[in-house]
Amino acid sequence: MTGLLVAWHLGALHPAEKVLTLALAFGPFLLLAAVIWVRRRQDAREEPDQPER
């Protein structure tokens, strides 16, 4: 529901403009989360004898 409210808040934008605006707003955070996830998996593989937190 929140995503729908954000889309309504943007007003009369073309659908492609809405997608671009949302991608620019949330894309960096999603990319950062993906990088952190991948690095943690790589670190866990390199140190298998350490217990997980």
Which of the four pLDDT bands, split at 50, 70 and 90, describes residue 42? very high
* Burial degree of 53 (CB within 10 A; 0-12, 13-18, 19+): exposed
pTM of this structure: 0.59
Which of the four pLDDT bands, split at 50, 70 and 90, describes residue 13? confident
Residue 12 backbone zone (phi > 0: left; psi -120 to 50: alpha; other: beta): beta
User: Per-residue pLDDT tens for 16-35?
Assistant: 888 998 999 999 999 999 99
